[in-house]
Structures are given as C-alpha cells and as structure tokens.
Amino acid sequence: MFDTIRTWVPGAITGLVATGAALAAAEVAGALLSRPSSTPLLAVGDAVVDLTPQPVKQFAVDTFGTADKIALFVGMGVILAVAAALLGVAAVNRRWIGFAGLGVFAGVGVLAALTRPDAGPLDGLPTLVGAAVCAGVLVLLIGVIARGRGGGAGDAPAEGGPAEDGPERKDQPQGFDRRRFALLAGAAVAASAGAGATARFLAASTAGGRLTPADVTLPRPAFPADAVPDGADLELAGLDPFFTPNDEFYRIDTALTIPRVDASTWSLRIHGLGAKERVYTFADLLDRDDLVERDITLACVSNPVGGSYVGNARWIGVPLRTLLEEAGVRPPGEGGPADQLVSRSDDGMTIGTPVADVMDGRDALIAIGMNGRPLPYKHGFPARMVVPGLYGYVSACKWIVDLELTTFDAFDAYWVPRGWSARGPIKTQSRIDTPRATHSEAPGTVVVAGVAWAQHTGIDRVEVRIDDGDWREAVLADEDTADTWRQWSYEWAGAEAGQHRISVRATDRDGRTQTEERAPVAPDGATGHHTIQVTVE
Ligand SMILES: Nc1nc2c(c(=O)[nH]1)N[C@H]1C(S)=C(S)[C@@H](COP(=O)(O)O)O[C@H]1N2
Ligand SMILES: [Mo]
C-alpha cells in the first residue's frame, strides 16, 4: 500500500515530464518544418474549434467573450495534465497503459493535424516526434521507478541497481533510486525548456527577409475619402469614438494563433467559373493607381443586441469589382455563371459572398490599410476583404489568399454547415452607449447617446423611449457616409428618481424600422431593441 502511494507521485511526475518533453519536441519539429499550426496543441485546439457545436460555441463566447481561445487552451492544458499524471501513475505498474494512452493522444494529434483545412502531408510529423520523445522519457523514468521496486516486493532492494545506490539506500528502504529519478526527470525538464526556447528562436529566425506590417509604407490612395464632417463625432463621454482605434477594434476569427503572413511571398489568386486566372502580389496591390480610401463600419453577425462586435475604420484598398473585372468576371445579372465568390484565407477559412453584391457598385475592397496603417496581423495582414452592408462572416475574409468564383449551390462556406445563413446582409441596428446600466444618474437632464448602423443604406431616424412613454426622436450626428455608423444623442429632461428603462430603435433609409421582436444571433443576426435599466437617484 505504501509502495503504491509512493509510486503515485513519481508516476504522476513521470507522466507530466514526458508530456512536457513531447510538446517541446513537437514545437521544435513544427518550427523546423515552418508549420507551427501542425503542432499537437494548436492542431487539436483548431479541430475543437471547428467541431464544437454552435450552442456550445455560443456558450463559450457568452461566458468568455473574446477570451474564449485562452479558455480553450487552459481547458486543454488541464485535461492533458490530468490525463498525463494519471497515465504516468498507471504506467508504473502496467507500462502498456502508459503507451496505450500515449498512442491515443498521439493518434488524436496526428488526425487533427492532417485534417486541418490547410494541412500538408508532413503535418503529422511534429506529433509523431513528440510521441517518440515522450515514449523515450517514459521508458527511462519508469525504468528507474520499477528497478527500485524490484518487481513489486515493496522492500526488496534493487538487484543489480545502480552503483550510487549505496548511501541512499537506508533513507528509502522500499523505494527506488530517488536521486537518479530526480536527476533524469530534471534533465528531461531542462532539455524540454531548452527545446522550447530553441523552437521560439527558430520561429523568430525564419522571420528574416519577411515583409511585416512594420516594414510596409502605405501608398497615398489615388482616391482619398472625403473629410469626415465635424459633427459626425459628438465626442460625448461614454460614447464610442467615430473611428475605432485599431487596437480597440473587435476581433472575431477562428485562428488560435494569429497568422503572421509574410507579405513578400503573399499572393492573391482569382479563378473559377467564368474567370481567367489572375494572381496579384502584395507589391502589385501597392503599385496600383486605383487605390481608394473608404470609411466602412464592420459588424459581426454574432453581435448580440447592444453588443460591441462592431467597429468603424478608414480603409485603404483596391476596388474588388475592378480586380474581378480584370479576371473577366461578369455579375450574374449580366450573364456571369457564378453567383458566389468564395474567399479563402491563409489559415484555411472559407467565406462566401454574393458576386452580385460585390459588383453592384458598392465599395467592396481588398483592403491593405486600416486607419492609416497597414492592416495589423490580427485584422488580416497583408490583405482582407471588406464589403459594406454584409456581416463579416460572409464578406470580411482576413489573411485572404484566394478568390474563387462558384455558385451557392455548389459550395457551402465554413459557417454555413455550422448553422449560419449562407447570405448575411447586415440588419439595421442601434445601441445605447451612455448612460451605462451599471451607473446611476442624477435627476434632471440625462444625456442618452449611442450609435446606429445600416451600412450601405444609411440611417434615417433614431428614436428613444423612456419606460412606457412615446418614442421620441433623437438628434442624429452628421453622416459620414451611408456605409458608416451614425452617432445619435437624446436629452432626457426631467428624469425622476427611481428605476427607468431606456430603449432605442433606428429606421434606415429604406424605411425599415427595427423590429421589437427578439431574435438570437444565429442564423442571420440578432433583432430587437437595445434596452437598458438605469437608476436615477
Ligand atoms: N480568415 C478569417 N477571416 C475572417 C474570420 C475568420 O474566422 N477567419 N471571421 C470573420 C468574421 S465572423 C468577422 S465578424 C470579421 C471580423 O473582423 P475583425 O476581427 O477584423 O474585426 O472577420 C471575418 N473574417
Ligand atoms: Mo462575425
């Protein structure tokens, strides 16, 4: 019994050390192959993201917000650590359990790596290297533990044990050679740490000769955006600024590590139904004389009513319609055979956009600049799509590398089998930014303010309702363009002490007023009025 307990700790340590060594070795292999996304943790994490059913995903997003990826890694780490420790304990008595466990985990890692949409034939290798190292460490450490136990008789001294047994023997009458175990385990941990550092170094050193956002000087666009009217930004405390700074811009994607695409080797290919193949390098895009600058508000379909997955930026890019025309593409209305434009990203995302929409004259862009800077890595460097009036999941492909002309009948893009509508025009929305529900306000006049958006249509009217009162018109800030959100404010005079409810609704230029009816974000965007409770005291 004591013997059993005494082997638990070294068994668990063995499992953890071997697993750590496996992950470190896999990192090195991934870095040598320049395929960091093929390492087991990232590949399995990616697979989990892809396979998670929509309700669970929604729960994760609701609970963790944009920290959902960190939560995923922590969760995977805990599961792996617990499994590693248990398998280590089991392996002390029955080695095969340890190796069977290792086999199962390695199998999952290889399978995940090879089934990623951007997988290459060697992507199973990092996991296999890790598994081999793991097996080696297991054999070594369990060997030390088992030898000391002399085949199970608790207090039997190790026959033919290592020479250094002598002095320590009396401290551990029924044990194994702890010093040797500690030395080997320590060496394995040190080697793993060294390997991890080497992997980092390798990854960084392959960065030489790369073209990064910091290296890019954006050209002056041939067609700059008009100046934003002074009155577009009300500059009220608590109200989102008219332009969302890049580092505050919401980020939604499935990438567990942000793709760091090298712009010096990047290219964008256009091909497919009714298209002559065209390939553009990043230099081609920078050199063009038709770069435009446009203000466009981006919104995510999974933005709940009142949510913050919406942001406004000044983009620089190439008109997508022109690129398609250069490839000979005609919109379906003019006899073109393709009705869907599928964009693919460096990380294997697919996004389907109606060809008719991107060719109808709206400012659909292959964007390379965001608020005066090259795109940040997390927003799609070196190039992404931006289409006014469509949710991001059907238009805003980041790290874009490929545009294929096809049909909606022939192909479902990534989100479609996951329960999202194939087409995602943005729904007219409005949001109260101030007051905050958590603040209490002094009686008298309370300034209520927020934003409303109906990209590509424009906002015509915003109304506010206090408690069960009448809808009252808010004052609209000056409009920048129909493609941007519009701030509004409302002076609520005579606010009396107590609990109050404030609601907002917008009407767009097509005369559509937001419905009160609440709909969830799936399949094609939330509806309902943003309503907050405030305390006046
Ligand atoms: N490669 C890639 N592009 C993507 C996504 C993604 O998961 N991968 N998500 C899309 C979604 S759902 C949205 S709302 C926008 C968000 O863009 P942002 O992160 O720059 O705000 O990117 C779109 N482009
Ligand atoms: Mo989105």
Q: Return mean pLDDT, the chain.
A: 91
- Using an 8 Å Cβ cutoff, are 462 and 474 in contact? yes
Cα distance between the two ends of the chain: 67
Q: How confident is the model at residue 164 (pLDDT cuts 50, 70, 90)?
A: very low
User: What average pLDDT does the segment 217-242 reach?
Assistant: 97
171 bridge partner residues: none
* 232: pLDDT strictly greater than 90: yes
**Token pair 């292959």 is at which residue?**
366
Q: How confident is the model at residue 536 (pLDDT cuts 50, 70, 90)?
A: very high
User: What average pLDDT does the segment 425-448 reach?
Assistant: 92
Q: Distance between alpha carbon 56 and the CA centroid of its chain, in Å?
A: 16
- Helix, strand, coil abundance in the chain, percent, nearest 5: 40, 25, 40
Task: Please tell me whether the peptide bond between 523 and the residue prior to it is cis, using omega within 30 degrees of 0.
Answer: yes
- Using an 8 Å Cβ cutoff, are 438 and 431 in contact? no
pLDDT at 290: 98
**Token pair 């460490």 is at which residue?**
137
Ramachandran region, residue 94 (left: φ > 0; alpha: ψ -120 to 50; beta: rest): beta
Pick among 3.90.1150.10, 3.40.640.10, 3.30.450.20, 3.90.420.10: CATH of 230-418: 3.90.420.10
194 bridge partner residues: none
* 75: pLDDT strictly greater than 80: yes
Q: What is the DSSP letter of 25?
A: H
Alpha carbons 428 and 505: distance in angstroms, whole number:
9
* SS3 assignment for 48-83: HHHHCCHHHHHHHHHHHHHHHHHHHHHHHHHHHHHH
- Using an 8 Å Cβ cutoff, are 276 and 327 in contact? yes
User: What average pLDDT does the segment 21-46 reach?
Assistant: 90
pLDDT at 152: 43
Alpha carbons 314 and 144: distance in angstroms, whole number:
64
| Token pair listed for 109 | 């890692």
| Token pair listed for 244 | 């969302």
Alpha carbons 90 and 101: distance in angstroms, whole number:
10
The residue whose CA has the least distance to atom 9 of ligand 1 is 253
pLDDT at 2: 52
| 302 Cα: distance to centroid of ligand 2 (angstroms) | 6
Atom number, ligand 1, closest to the C-alpha of residue 299: 14
Best of 58, 253, 314 to mutate for ligand 1, by most ligand atoms within 8 A of CB?
Answer: 253
Alpha carbons 164 and 177: distance in angstroms, whole number:
8
Q: Which residues contact 295 (CB under 8 A, 6 or more apart)?
A: 225, 228, 243, 312, 313, 314, 315, 480, 481, 483, 484
The residue whose CA has the least distance to atom 1 of ligand 1 is 398
Continuous H helices in 116-177: 125-148, 165-168
Q: What is the DSSP letter of 504?
A: E
pLDDT at 130: 96
Q: How confident is the model at residue 173 (pLDDT cuts 50, 70, 90)?
A: very low
* 304: pLDDT strictly greater than 80: yes
Alpha carbons 97 and 88: distance in angstroms, whole number:
9
pLDDT tens sequence across 362-414: 999 999 999 999 999 999 999 999 999 999 999 999 999 999 999 999 999 99
Alpha carbons 321 and 304: distance in angstroms, whole number:
31
**Token pair 């603040």 is at which residue?**
439
Q: How confident is the model at residue 207 (pLDDT cuts 50, 70, 90)?
A: low
pLDDT at 155: 36
**Most distant CA pair in the chain: distance in Å?**
92
The residue type found at 475 is V
* 56: pLDDT strictly greater than 70: yes
Q: How confident is the model at residue 167 (pLDDT cuts 50, 70, 90)?
A: very low
CB atoms within 10 A of CB 473: 11
Please tell me the number of the ligand nearest to residue 50's CA: 1
User: What average pLDDT does the segment 260-266 reach?
Assistant: 96
User: What average pLDDT does the segment 254-263 reach?
Assistant: 93
The residue whose CA has the least distance to atom 21 of ligand 1 is 251
Atom number, ligand 1, closest to the C-alpha of residue 254: 7
pLDDT at 415: 97
pLDDT at 118: 80
User: What average pLDDT does the segment 9-19 reach?
Assistant: 94
> 388: part of which helix (H) or strand (E)?
none
| 199 Cα: distance to centroid of ligand 1 (angstroms) | 29
Q: How confident is the model at residue 208 (pLDDT cuts 50, 70, 90)?
A: low
Atom number, ligand 1, closest to the C-alpha of residue 300: 14
The residue whose CA has the least distance to atom 16 of ligand 1 is 252
| 143 Cα: distance to centroid of ligand 2 (angstroms) | 52
Ordered by start, the domain boundaries in the chain are: 2-207, 230-418, 429-536
The residue whose CA has the least distance to atom 19 of ligand 1 is 251
Q: What is the DSSP letter of 184?
A: H
Q: Fold for 429-536, please state it.
A: Immunoglobulin-like (2.60.40)
Q: How confident is the model at residue 156 (pLDDT cuts 50, 70, 90)?
A: very low
Cα dist from 253 to 16, 237, 275, 307, whole Å: 32, 30, 29, 17
Alpha carbons 446 and 493: distance in angstroms, whole number:
6
Lining residues, ligand 1, CB within 6 Å = 249-254, 298, 300, 345, 347, 349, 379, 392-393, 396-399
Atom number, ligand 1, closest to the C-alpha of residue 253: 7
Q: How confident is the model at residue 13 (pLDDT cuts 50, 70, 90)?
A: very high
**Percentage of the chain modeled with pLDDT above 90:** 78
Please tell me the number of the ligand nearest to residue 395's CA: 1
pLDDT at 171: 42
Please tell me the number of the ligand nearest to residue 380's CA: 1
The residue whose CA has the least distance to atom 5 of ligand 1 is 253
* 161: pLDDT strictly greater than 90: no
User: What average pLDDT does the segment 26-42 reach?
Assistant: 89
Higher pLDDT, 64 or 530: 530
Torsion on CA atoms 282, 287, 291, 295, rounded to nearest 10: 50
CB atoms within 10 A of CB 508: 22
pLDDT tens sequence across 484-534: 999 999 999 999 999 999 999 999 999 999 999 999 999 999 999 999 999
* 334: pLDDT strictly greater than 70: yes
Best of 398, 400, 402, 524 to mutate for ligand 1, by most ligand atoms within 8 A of CB?
Answer: 398
Q: How confident is the model at residue 471 (pLDDT cuts 50, 70, 90)?
A: very high
Higher pLDDT, 224 or 442: 224
User: What average pLDDT does the segment 230-245 reach?
Assistant: 97
* 185: pLDDT strictly greater than 60: yes
Please tell me the number of the ligand nearest to residue 251's CA: 1
Q: How confident is the model at residue 170 (pLDDT cuts 50, 70, 90)?
A: very low
* 94: pLDDT strictly greater than 50: yes
Q: How confident is the model at residue 147 (pLDDT cuts 50, 70, 90)?
A: confident
- Angle, alpha carbons 306-308-312 (nearest 5°): 115
* 237: pLDDT strictly greater than 80: yes
Continuous H helices in 177-301: 178-205, 282-287
User: What average pLDDT does the segment 183-196 reach?
Assistant: 95
CA proximity to 480, closest of 301, 266, 229: 229
Q: Distance between alpha carbon 26 and the CA centroid of its chain, in Å?
A: 23
* 166: pLDDT strictly greater than 60: no
Which of 59-68, 77-86, 113-122, 385-394 has maximum average pLDDT?
Answer: 385-394
Alpha carbons 357 and 339: distance in angstroms, whole number:
10
pTM: 0.83
